[in-house]
Amino acid sequence: MYYKIIEKFGPSDEERWQNYLNWRQLDLTCFDSIDGILKPDLFNPKSQEDWANCVNEDFKLHLITNLNYARKILQRYHNANIVGVETELDEDYESEEGLLGYDIIDGSISVLTNWGTDTENLINPHLMPNGLIGDLAQALRIRNLLRQKFPDDPHVKKSEVWAVYCVDE
């Protein structure tokens, strides 16, 4: 499992939260998606210790490999939290305790929560109140359906299903 230090976003953001819900036509109670626009990654390796504790491949430098180090980094920020992620999932993945749900990620952007207004209702009906999909098979089906319907969309073409976990801070 990898760890992300991300900016918080949710109901406490009041006007920004309401604007988002209105735009996406959603009725969420919280926001556990790891969308990089609404909840940007805050960790950017700078020191040797940072580099020794990050994923140094595939443009995933924002992912931290060590939970204790992630907790140490979290202390640098006041409006942030840690989430655990498992990346590039397939149908054989078995979830662990603490799973919040599944996100479909293109680079750092969530296809579930930040890919237009979903006028075709391909995504919104399947979202849990936290903005994630609760079932891996459903998340994989949605990703595959989006790839079929929008084969030329660069956000969909390279998207991956990720598991998102709650981490005790």
Length, in residues, of the chain: 169
The residue ranges of every structural domain in the chain are 2-166
Tokens of 45: 């390796």
- Average pLDDT rounded to a whole number, residues 98-115: 92
Q: How far apart are CA 100 and CA 150, in angstroms?
A: 27
What pLDDT, in 10s, does the model give residues 40-96? Answer: 999 999 999 999 999 988 778 999 999 999 999 999 999 999 999 999 999 999 998
- Over 80: is that where the pLDDT of 98 sits? yes
Three-state secondary-structure class, residue 48 = helix
